[in-house]
Structure 1
Amino acid sequence: MPVTVPHIVSDVMTTPAVTVGRDARFKEIVRVMDERGVSAVPVVSGDGRVVGVVSEADLLPKEEFRDRRPTRSERKRLGSGLAKAEGATAEEVMNTPAVTVRPDDTLARAARLMAVHHVKRLPVVDAEERLSGIVSRGDLLRVFLRSDEDIEEEVRRTVVSYLFPRHAHAIHVSVRDGIVVLRGPVHDTSLIWVAERLVSGLEGVVAVQSRLRGEGPGPQAPASRP
């Protein structure tokens, strides 16, 4: 069966990524984020390995407690995170170890990691943990910019022609705004759900509406009169 290779992180990541070093001062980090319009930056060592990530959330405690000392309840709530309010360098405020992905990871894996760890960006690292790029939520959504024509062609080529070779010519595929509609007769109704599943897994597909039906007997000729 022809397999559709999903888009991978290297297809959508931004490179080169904006970074800071371990010794970057607090105001330098803020300036870099502001100038480059990013909400987080990887922290890299001298050899380019990712050692952590600093996000806006890591910097905000500094402002929260700029003109007062935290209360006992705030200290208890923040725990070790309170140290970030007192940190002056990237190494002192960063989250470590960094949550990262590889260039050949699927976009689905990157999306799951972002959801589980509640982050908006992921550093992309190679086998040596050296930074290759950065992938953001917006990058992952770019697959939905794929044209309806491209999606339709892939549905016909990788799903319809393989699962239903006898009826490929009779199956109608239409795509509008990423919503795929399948219509027509098939010789094996047990394959309908397979088709739906395969189509829904294609990049850029928003939803699948199946109007596929089992192949029935053709219209009968009227009985002749005696």
Structure 2
Amino acid sequence: MTENNISINDVILQVRQNIRNPVKKETNPLYGTKYADLNEVLETVNNAFPSDGTFTQPIKIDAGGNATLVLTIWTKNSSEDVSTIPLVEADTNKRTNKIQMMGQAITYLRRYQLKSFFGLGDADDDGQDNSNQNYRSSNNQNKLSRNNNQNSSNEPINSAMNKQILEMIDTVAKLWELSNQQIYDQLKSKFKFTRLDMITNGFAQKLLVYLNGMKKEALKARNNVRK
């Protein structure tokens, strides 16, 4: 087989044989951990491709208006969509509009689509210990439920509830690669409160439900990339 007749499968095989884990040069400001940003991942994948192959990550929109991030591999003679991730509209906040939020989400998904499909195995530092955090969050929720049995939902927020909200903001910000302040501003914009320490336990429960939904969306996006 000549290089001019290389197949898509041959390209994928060569990339997987040649590819090396990207260098983690960037630092997550929330946790001080290192991670490989999109540019580093793109360079890593590009360097592993044979001369007769390349890839693109276009966003395709179907007849129903649904947008999908697609990983397409190209040779001189053919192309194939090898991975797809549906895009969902992200909520805005006071500092970030819809276009900016979607841009951040696309950057995040492009990176994980490439890492997942090409088998890049660097430690996921910017999302590390999610399982441990989920476990701790579950334990916190159980403790919080017991505390709520002793506190009226109309009473001012207690320290346990306040701490759990802050932990959830931390987790969600990390998953979406945003700052804690951006998540906090989004909560204030959506739920129209001024200060966290001035809300009630019942109101705090609404914030937790919303934050948990944001966390599930982020984890679902990661799972879609890994499939």
- Look at both structures and tell me which one has the larger radius of gyration over its CA atoms: 1
Report TM bin, short chain: under 0.3
* Higher strand proportion: 1
TM-score (norm 2): 0.24
